[in-house]
Structure 1
């Protein structure tokens, strides 16, 4: 990735690059796909470098390489917010040929990446939310699944649930003749994601989205019920896995956790946030603790 980057106006960008399947319109009316410094490229590279540097630190190896990563990250072209309040998809604030395009790859830093968040980068998170608002709700199965996760990361439980319900819309497989008529997404009677004719990404994305609504985690922090919709005000879940080798069993009522058991597969420490409080807990390998 670092060897792909070139300098432009003192910052590092990719050249050439695209934003998957989408096209831009320049002020003079030119429609194109290939450019330089596109946000999706830089979002994925930024996440890759952050993860590589952290792995180097944890393993205690490649110190000089880590320094090179740190220098590169400081010079990457930063995210830009467009005139519509959206997260800019292109190097310039150009219009999209299709403003409702199913791809949202430039939001990669929010999900599945971790370097954009409501807490750490609130202005950029708001720009991500605006991007999704502009795109609307009509999209394909895999894209709907992804949007459930993006909205959950934005801590918008009601919109995440709305997209999840759209993902589960019934689609009949009867009289399907192979035409491209299933691009609205949905779910077949056998629970496979509907899209000409089927996309496992929608199934995987939907499952992941439910977990993201109920729990979000990093290697050192677990947040419970971060995007809980009103429809799920009461509930319970068992055996969901958090980063860091932790397993969570919990029950909640009236949107508050009333029972919580956390197990650690390998031992270690984490911070658990729920009901407006935060607890730092240390575990031995294989230890199970009732925290509520």
Structure 2
């Protein structure tokens, strides 16, 4: 399929970049810095480079990461459950665990509302299905993914343990079976915000870069 690949490579070059800092210091949403009719709109699709992609990271593109923060500050935390979950994922990628935790609490607040709410929505029904409202499975899946991103991240070329830990979780905790890119399985324990025990498992032993308690090092995974 080399012909198709070559064609796609040419077309990719025609796409606008995913991260352009506008005159106001935020990630620019459109090709030009148009005035926003709704600055707190629930969609933040122009931060695709931050999540789910890995084009914007605090380590490799700090200026774009700061611009993404400004974008999120202006957009605000309100929205239906899927939007709250997305913002939780964005703040996790920006390593702000307390802001991500605030959004998690918002998406988990009890509600019985079933009216369509595009503004200050969120919440969960008694059966733990996410309320948009009404029901939105995106909120359940997105919040679950957000919790995972708070505990481990592996999109920037290394596995980082506890990259976006909120103060509320720092004292003590344990998690097993989290998956990282490259088909690695992570088990770990922490106390007072520090990893005290961890293991990296994979189908066969492999060298892997890992960031533990702020230190980046290379190790070899254990066989599953």
Residue of 1, 8, 26 corresponding to 1:86: 26
CA-to-aligned-CA distance 1:196-248 (integer Å, 9 cap, x gap): 42000000000000010010013852111111111110211011111111111
Aligned to 1:259: 197
Residue of 67, 77, 80 corresponding to 2:16: 77
Is the counterpart of residue 281 in structure 1 residue 219 in structure 2? yes
User: 1:181 Cα deviation (Å)?
Assistant: 4.8
Aligned to 2:130: 193
User: 1:116 Cα deviation (Å)?
Assistant: 1.1
User: 1:86 Cα deviation (Å)?
Assistant: 1.0
Unaligned runs of 5+ in 2: none
Greater Rg over alpha carbons, structure: 1
Contact 1:182 1:194 in 2 (8 A): no
Aligned to 1:28: none
SS in structure 2 at match of 1:90: coil
User: 1:268 Cα deviation (Å)?
Assistant: 2.7
Residues 36-47 of structure 1 aligned to structure 2 (within 5 Å): none
| Distance in 1 (alpha carbons) for counterparts of 2:75 and 2:216 | 35
SS in structure 2 at match of 1:194: coil
Contact 2:150 2:163 in 1 (8 A): yes
Aligned to 1:235: 173
After TM superposition, the score normalised by the length of structure 2 is: 0.90
User: 1:272 Cα deviation (Å)?
Assistant: 1.0
Contact 1:182 1:197 in 2 (8 A): no
Across the two proteins, how many residue pairs are aligned to each other? 221
Query: Per chain length, whose mean CA-contact separation is higher, i.e. which structure has more relative contact order (CA < 8 Å, sep 6+)?
Result: 2
Is the counterpart of residue 165 in structure 1 residue 105 in structure 2? yes
Residues 17-32 of structure 1 aligned to structure 2 (within 5 Å): none
Residue of 116, 119, 133 corresponding to 1:180: 116
Contact 1:240 1:249 in 2 (8 A): yes
| Distance in 2 (alpha carbons) for counterparts of 1:76 and 1:270 | 33
Is the counterpart of residue 206 in structure 1 residue 143 in structure 2? yes
Contact 2:79 2:118 in 1 (8 A): no
User: 1:186 Cα deviation (Å)?
Assistant: 1.1
Q: 1:267 to 1:218 in 2, by over 3 A?
A: farther
Unaligned runs of 5+ in 1: 1-60
User: 1:194 Cα deviation (Å)?
Assistant: 0.5
Q: 1:251 to 1:74 in 2, by over 3 A?
A: same
RMSD: 2.3
Aligned to 2:162: 225
Residue of 59, 81, 93 corresponding to 1:119: 59
User: 1:259 Cα deviation (Å)?
Assistant: 0.6
CA-to-aligned-CA distance 1:35-72 (integer Å, 9 cap, x gap): xxxxxxxxxxxxxxxxxxxxxxxxxx849936962x65
